[in-house]
Chain A
Amino acid sequence: MIRFSDIKREAGFVFGHRQIKLTLLVVFLLSSVSLWSGYAEMQEQQATIERLLKKDETERNAVLTHQSNYGMVAYYAFHLTYAPPSPLAFAAVGERDVFPWKHRIRMLALEGQIYESDTDNPELAFLGRFDFAFVTSVLLPLFIILLLYDLKAKEREARRFDLLNVTARNSHAIWSSRVLVTLVPLVLATLIPLIAFSVVNGASVASILTVCAIVIGSIIIWSAIVLAIGAAKRFAHFSATHLASIMLGVWLVTTVIVPVTGHTIINASVDTPEGGDIVLTQREAVNSAWDKPVEDTWQAFIETHPQWADKTDFDPQRDSSFNWKWYYAFQQVGDQTAKGLSESYQAATLRKDEIASYVALLSPSLLTQRLLTSAADTDVQAMVNYENNVREFHASLRKFYYHHLFEAPDFSTASFKQLPQFSPQVSKKQENTHED
């Protein structure tokens, strides 16, 4: 039973300690700086999207006014697709710096376009982002170790240990309340800046609570590890710094060795097609179509698009030997040829991510990082979802143009009112944040 008077006394003790005050201040600063940096970056990404949208519109309108047939418009008109940062993305930049979050797509074979990456500076991505997820998953455990490793040893060295145990009504209560008055300020120092930024950025209450829960959970797990090592009978004769070395060893094994071993094993066990093969296959298929009999293309195309079976004829008066219908059909056949490879490439990405989620169960840091990126919609799943959104959008573009190419209505700019518009899918992640 912890009494209020215990807490008050211990609080007085903890806050009388310069080292602890300093640590809390540093944690508060790190948390704030990481959040500010993520916030600024996401603001910039949002602004970029807005600028791009404007230019995209202008550029497309210019194409529409310059061209006079659907085939040419489809060839020259690009469409911006993007994955806007979620209201919490500033807390966990996640995979947004290696996966693309914006593409300009047109009617040509998609496999040739979707692997283009307009990602950030690779050297900065290599150095890593200083975001809130990094602070909580990698640094916070170290701070917890520093705060708690000499909890009892400090008193032993100051020769107050026995005195404290004797004078306290309940010796457990002292240590529990001392841990509590150390950890609660730590939680506050970490989370207050987060809550402030999240509110400013308009994140939903539920998602803020989720992130808070993840952070608190991580702090509890690490404190438990540290306290368990400190209290273990096996280590009873170890000095405080020896204990701390063991704690750092646990940090090292879980934060560094488990992930890299997992990575090595996953890479060796999950078969991934070479990315280069996808694009090479697609390009061969598209380019060889020019030299093949037209019927070959039509046959492959009609298999997947039977509704156009009767409309594949050329009108020699209007079309000569080159025909846009055929041109876009072989683009599509190119995608179809690479489909198997492309699907297994994506499946491998997801499979690796799935195995990684099991590996994360062995590593509190990795788990924290994964949960945070999942809550912020910046994980691999979210980036793959975006890729699939782009695929869907490309399909809707094809549907629109196929209609105009195969039915061959007279060209009219008014018909472009029906042109599909990309709208980013807002994830329904909020309902099922806990993947594991």
Chain B
Amino acid sequence: MILNVATIICAEQWRYWMRTKVAATVLLLGAILTIAALVVNAFHINEAAHARDHLQTEAEQRFKAQPDKHPHRMVHYGHYVFRAPTPLSVIEPGVDTYTGNAIFLEGHRQNSAMFAEQRQSAGLTRFSSLTPSFLALVLAPLFIILIGYGSVTREREAGTLTLLLSQGTSRWELLLGKLLALITASSLFLLPLLLACFYVLFSNESALVVMLFCLSYVVYFLLWATVVTACSAIFEKSSVSFTVLIVIWMSACVLLPRLGSSVATNIAPSMGKLEADFKVEEKLRSLGDGHDVNDPAFKKLKEDLLAKYNVDSVDDLPVNFRGIVAQYSEGRQAKVLNEFAETRMSEELEQAQIARQFGWLSPTVAVRSISTILAGTSLETHHRFLREAETLRLDFVQALNKVHAEKLDYKLDMNRNASEEAADKAVVGADNWSMLAEFDFKPEAGSTRISNAFIYFVQLLLWMGLTALLLQAAVRRLNP
């Protein structure tokens, strides 16, 4: 029964919207924008995926196609890894355009990711971007406000509210009808996004992740539709309802996310990479230079090795001492590098988490966190990329050092600078380069991403509770 009346009210509201040009324009504009964003973004991501896949294969082929060389030269030749975009980044590209997607891996160094796309955007997309997530999280609420701020106040101002209520329509029925109308209208913006999610389901993305991703957007739209309907019922005049809603939108969607970012920068300033590099160097200097076997830092290593093989000089060792030193010092150095890299990443994560606490103040921040984490375009997934790249780096560098120790004669090696012929002899075969592992980046498992996003679901739940209370208050206060 209650639904019947609500449906009639909803249909009535739709008839009104279709009559007035403003609502129809907003609806049309919103739907076109969402579809355009999806198409443009899907093409872009698809292209990027192909380009990076191609570059990755090419980098691997080039590495393996290198001629016979001194293994340490391959350590410096290095390798490139590229991060492939995740399926859901079609909707939420997240930090991807800000991080850079390629890393050069080489011996003795951890490089940062290069070529952030944002640098090529001439500042045009710093506030807004044609991404489905921006449209859904920032613009859609504005559209919902524009079509819904007067849904109840209009009836009140025209005097029809008294009529409706005196004819036996209950307050709940009335508000539910209005809310239903606004939800169906806003679904015009949401539907393309949900369809895109449905499409993503056919990729290798976890179904549960995609469903929760959709759900958080659906809830977000419901929140706004409810807040707008409630405000329209609470305030006497359309102009007041309008002003209040615009102020809410400004703070929740525009102001607070950025305020969070600035607060995080200032509360927990993180040490830049350069500054960390100095600390790394300070620490490394005490560890010895892996290029120089005579460095006093390797004395102990040498003595142990001589004792182990029971020989008197490094010349008599069955392994190449230079390779052993390279292996040993690379391993020790990587430990220091990773220690600092981990510190830096945890500092960054701490900053991001401070900014995400603003989800308690704005549902937009909460859904943004959920959306980037689930889509695998959050800081966490970027860090995972950095860690995997580092693992690959250490693996191939150490594999090369092992080849250096086991397959290259020490005397030939020491003699390599004597002449060009000697240099030509101090090499190992190209077949050794095939040890390079393939790099195929995948975001964290679905369950990990969901548990990372847990606290932000709690934020969203809080907002659902608050909004329900607001709706209840609106029903109670609904007077003609």
Contact = CB atoms under 8 A, between A and B. Distances in A.
Nearest to A119: B116
Interface in A223-277: 239-242, 244-246, 248-249, 252, 255-257, 259-264, 266-267, 272, 274-276
A249 B22 CA distance: 10
Contacts of A274: 51, 55, 115
A155 interface: no
B262 A129 contact: yes
A381 B59 CA distance: 32
Interface stretch (B72-80, B206-214, B221-229): B72-80
B166 interface: no
A259 B124 contact: yes
Contacts of A279: 80, 102, 104, 114
A104 B277 CA distance: 10
B238 A241 contact: yes
Nearest to A360: B124
Nearest to B146: A245
A72 to B, nearest CB: 10
Interface string B25-64: 1100100010000001000000000010001001100100
Contacts of A19: 243
B238 A373 contact: no
A423 B210 CA distance: 52
B15 interface: no
Contact of A128 (B58, B119, B258): B258
Contacts of A287: 73, 76-77
Q: Interface centre among B146, B266, B274, B278, by most A CB within 10 Å?
A: B274
A380 interface: yes
A257 B33 contact: yes
A102 B271 CA distance: 13
A30 B118 CA distance: 26
A147 to B, nearest CB: 10
Interface in A28-74: 30, 33-34, 37-38, 40-41, 44, 48, 51-52, 55-56, 59, 62
Contacts of B99: 122
Binding site secondary structure of chain B: helix
A276 B82 contact: yes
Contacts of B4: none
A134 B426 CA distance: 60
Nearest to A66: B285
Given A126-B98, A257-B33, A263-B130, A104 B59 contact: no
A120 to B, nearest CB: 7
Interface string A112-130: 1001111111111111111
B419 interface: yes
Interface stretch (A160-168, A347-355, A406-414): A347-355
Interface residues of A, number: 101
B448 interface: no
Contacts of B352: 121, 123-124
Nearest to B347: A121
A9 B77 CA distance: 78
Given A52-B278, A142-B250, A239-B238, A291 B112 contact: no
B169 interface: no
B264 interface: yes
Interface residues of B, number: 97
Nearest to A103: B274
A321 B261 contact: no
A283 B242 CA distance: 59
Given A263-B124, A276-B55, A127 B260 contact: yes
A150 B238 CA distance: 12
Given A123-B352, A239-B238, A255 B128 contact: yes
A241 B124 contact: no
B451 interface: no
Contacts of B250: 139, 142
A94 interface: yes
B272 interface: yes
B112 A116 contact: yes
A128 to B, nearest CB: 5
A261 B32 CA distance: 13
Contact of A276 (B80, B126, B254): B80
Given A139-B254, A146-B246, A245-B146, A94 B261 contact: no
Given A146-B243, A153-B239, A283-B77, A241 B123 contact: no
A257 B142 CA distance: 14
Interface in B106-125: 111-116, 118-125
Contacts of B322: none
A321 B239 contact: no
Contacts of A51: 275
Interface in B83-100: 94-95, 97-100
Contacts of A352: 120-122
Contacts of B254: 138-139
A341 to B, nearest CB: 12
Interface in B338-396: 348, 351-352, 355, 368, 372, 378-379, 382
B261 A128 contact: yes
B285 A62 contact: yes
B142 A252 contact: yes
A280 interface: yes
B114 A275 contact: yes
A52 B351 CA distance: 22
11 contacts: A104-B274, A120-B270, A121-B379, A125-B118, A146-B246, A240-B239, A242-B22, A260-B129, A267-B120, A274-B55, A291-B69
Given A157-B237, A349-B119, 19 more contacts: A48-B275, A62-B285, A116-B111, A117-B116, A123-B352, A124-B355, A125-B98, A139-B255, A146-B247, A241-B150, A241-B239, A241-B242, A245-B22, A267-B121, A280-B55, A283-B104, A284-B62, A352-B120, A369-B126
- For the complex of A and B, the 9 pairs showing the least CB-CB separation, nearest first, are A275-B115, A356-B122, A127-B261, A130-B258, A260-B130, A122-B98, A320-B417, A130-B262, A256-B128
